[in-house]
Chains A and B, each alone.
Chain A
Amino acid sequence: MEGAVTRQGLEAHLQVVVTDAFRLEIQLSIPPGKTIALLGPNGAGKSTAVSALAGLRPIDGGRIELTGTVLDDPERAAFVPPEQRHIGVVFQDYLLFPNLSVLENVAFGLRSRGVARDEAVTRSETWIERLGLGGLGVRKPSQLSGGQAQRVALARALVTEPDLLLLDEPLAALDVTTRAELRRTLAEHLRTFPGPRLLITHDPTEAFLLADEIHVIEDGEITQSGTADEIRLRPRTAYVADLVGSNLFAGVADGGRVETAGHHLHVADTDAAGDVLITIRPTAVSVHLHEPDGSPRNTWPTTIELIEPLGERTRLRTGGPLPLVIEITTEATRSLDLAAGTDVWVAVKATEIGVETDRPVSQRSGSRPDAAGGRP
């Protein structure tokens, strides 16, 4: 889109009365080229936000403005219907039209907007190729695997070059192996999409890996906003703490050892190799005043940076080399006489470290998890 407009990106203040007991009220500001994640549990109002932005549900108050155009403003009786909004949506469950082929699904948006058939087909085929779906154009959605259907949904949304990209739980319907692969595909296409992007998810890993900034949504309200690290290290509500309180690091695995940020950890999973994500639950870390001896194989000295009492539990944050969020009993905190600045040793058992493979499946020999499985 050429021409500098007064305000770029998405500016939205959404007020939607869902039921008498539940209303959504959130503020979203997404500049072009940025990905914002709306992270929250089911029933928090995430899908309502998608419907409101896409124009499938008028807002009851507030205002939606995209690249300087007002799309919905009840006070000024302004409402642009969905077919005129030019917003690309990847829906939960994809919603591929079952009666149309993959090619027809992808070309649907272009054809609906009056693009000539030949051009629509050419442009759609380009996107089908780009998403690694070459040769699947004639298939019906029922003949695709979950991962393939997800790619078709992405191609269908991107081919029209929308002003805003909405992704509603794009990976939720996939199995674990396919999810890691598709997350990479998604990351790659999010990077190249020039407009603002909104990712709706209940999965913190997805939000951390794909978004520049995260809004946590609970009961129709945004309870915390910030980068992945800000949210992870300083959770502001109990829900956020439980949801994102886990320690999450990207690393490289090799025969039971994972290197992350220059630090080596022993893990129980000796099969994992290459890029991995490791998770350490805050309650799985023990804290000692002196170097512990015995079974834990991962120990290192560090300093306590922050102490946060949460009733019977206390949340600690340690400094380098591997900053951790730790949860121990308040009693233990007292008996160890811990305070900010105390030098301690931390220990994690190898079996307490979760390892999630996160690398393109294509590099793996022999296995084809993305092959046509024939979803009913």
Chain B
Amino acid sequence: MSISTPERRRVRSRPPVFLVILGILGLAIFVIPFVGLLARVPWSDLPELLTSDIVVDALRLSLLTSIAATALAAVLGVPLAWLMARVEFPGRAIVRGIVTLPLVLPPVVGGAALLFALGRRGLVGEPLYEATGLVLPFSTWGVVIASTFVAMPFLVITVEGALRNLDQRYEGAASTLGASKWTVLRRVTLPMIGPSLLAGLVLTWARAFGEFGATITFAGNLQGRTQTMPLAVFVALESDRDTAVAISLVMVVVSLVVLIALRERWWKAL
């Protein structure tokens, strides 16, 4: 082994040229579309465009449904993750497969499946309609369900992984101190997986906020009821490009703000 001189160290720390080139090209794939979008923004008409009924309705609906979907995913997904992580039951591997399916399935197919199951003449939808008069497709609830279907896997997978990695002796220690199962969950388990839970919630929310395929298939495209931001962009691209650009800009800004605000804890968990 030769003694490493300062000169030698400098040589070694220089990254290979071809990696640098490919890396920069990789970054460009992310950056160029945003530059293109920003170049097309009609800055002077922006205030007027953003306050139009279509945009206001879509933004309100998108925020409402994405937050509702995230809340629904938390309420149902955390218990599911807990069961998958902590309870040995037959077919657990199959359950894990089913939970991850929406991640790889084309959202349109998911939306179609939801329609067949929960539509007014669907397997579950028909008895539900007869019993309660509730119609899910083409309603705001339909948007929430479609978004939850597509986005909840992010939460379940993140939380399940965190629960698996959690040292269960802490929970045992809590129970010897007199804590009930509920207290252990509330004061020890959930706080200890907090960063992962938060990361899962953010991923779920982001996926729900951008959800398009399953929503348009299952819930349709009705302004004020089911037309979320991505749907509004899609429609506007056909008729009114400036509005499409304005809505896209809003979505980019909202997503960026959320990511930056949670960046600290986000990186820690992933």
Structural contact, B175 and A82, CB atoms closer than 8 A: yes
Task: Name the residue on A nearest B179 (C-beta).
Answer: A112
Structural contact, A160 and B178, CB atoms closer than 8 A: yes
Candidates A56, A83, A95, A99; contact of B191 at CB < 8 Å? A99
Residue B12 interfacial (CB < 8 Å) = no
Tell me whether A112 and B191 are in contact in the complex, defined as CB-CB below 8 angstroms, given that A83-B179, A95-B169 are known contacts: no
Candidates B167, B179, B194; contact of A99 at CB < 8 Å? B194
Task: Name the residue on A nearest B194 (C-beta).
Answer: A99
Rounded to whole angstroms, the CA-CA distance of A224 and B237 in the bound complex is 84
Rounded to whole angstroms, the CA-CA distance of A81 and B180 in the bound complex is 10
Candidates B178, B188, B191, B194; contact of A109 at CB < 8 Å? B178
Rounded to whole angstroms, the CA-CA distance of A171 and B177 in the bound complex is 21
Candidates B173, B179, B183; contact of A91 at CB < 8 Å? B173
In the complex, how many angstroms separate the beta carbon of A244 from the nearest chain B beta carbon? 29
Candidates A51, A98, A99, A112; contact of B177 at CB < 8 Å? A112
Candidates B167, B170, B173, B194; contact of A89 at CB < 8 Å? B173
Residue A359 interfacial (CB < 8 Å) = no
Residue B192 interfacial (CB < 8 Å) = yes
Residue A232 interfacial (CB < 8 Å) = no
CB within 8 Å of B: which of A92-109?
A: 95, 97-100, 108-109
Rounded to whole angstroms, the CA-CA distance of A87 and B175 in the bound complex is 10
Structural contact, A91 and B169, CB atoms closer than 8 A: yes
Rounded to whole angstroms, the CA-CA distance of A81 and B178 in the bound complex is 9
Residue B176 interfacial (CB < 8 Å) = yes
Structural contact, A112 and B180, CB atoms closer than 8 A: yes
- Given the complex, which residues of A lie within 8 Å of B183, measured CB to CB? 112
Structural contact, A160 and B172, CB atoms closer than 8 A: no
Number of A-B contacts (CB under 8 A): 62
Structural contact, B178 and A95, CB atoms closer than 8 A: no
Residue B72 interfacial (CB < 8 Å) = no
Interface-central residue, A82, A86, A100, by most chain B CB under 10 Å? A82
Rounded to whole angstroms, the CA-CA distance of A196 and B82 in the bound complex is 37
Rounded to whole angstroms, the CA-CA distance of A244 and B175 in the bound complex is 35
Rounded to whole angstroms, the CA-CA distance of A146 and B48 in the bound complex is 62
Rounded to whole angstroms, the CA-CA distance of A85 and B176 in the bound complex is 7
- Given the complex, which residues of A lie within 8 Å of B263, measured CB to CB? none
Taken residue by residue from 182 to 225, chain A's Cβ proximity to chain B (1 for < 8 Å, 0 otherwise) reads as 00000000000000000000000000000000000000000000
Structural contact, B173 and A86, CB atoms closer than 8 A: no
Structural contact, A108 and B176, CB atoms closer than 8 A: no
Tell me whether A112 and B178 are in contact in the complex, defined as CB-CB below 8 angstroms, given that A97-B188, A99-B191 are known contacts: yes
Task: Name the residue on B nearest A162 (C-beta).
Answer: B176
- Given the complex, which residues of B lie within 8 Å of A81, measured CB to CB? 175
In the complex, how many angstroms separate the beta carbon of A101 from the nearest chain B beta carbon? 12
Tell me whether A54 and B192 are in contact in the complex, defined as CB-CB below 8 angstroms, given that A91-B169, A95-B169 are known contacts: no
Tell me whether A95 and B170 are in contact in the complex, defined as CB-CB below 8 angstroms, given that A83-B180, A112-B180, A112-B183 are known contacts: yes
17 A-B residue pairs with Cβ-Cβ distance under 8 Å, sorted by A, are A51-B172, A55-B175, A82-B172, A83-B175, A83-B178, A83-B179, A83-B180, A87-B176, A95-B173, A97-B191, A100-B187, A108-B174, A109-B177, A109-B178, A112-B178, A112-B179, A160-B177
Mark B residues whose CB is within 8 Å of A: 167, 169-170, 172-180, 183, 187-188, 191-192, 194
Mark A residues whose CB is within 8 Å of B: 51, 54-56, 81-89, 91, 95, 97-100, 108-109, 112-113, 156, 160
Apart from A56-B176, A82-B176, A95-B173, 14 more pairs, CB < 8 Å: A51-B172, A54-B176, A56-B175, A83-B175, A89-B173, A97-B174, A97-B188, A98-B192, A99-B188, A99-B191, A99-B192, A99-B194, A108-B174, A112-B177
The 7 A-B pairs with the shortest beta carbon distances in the complex, nearest first, are A109-B177, A112-B179, A99-B191, A112-B178, A82-B175, A95-B173, A113-B178
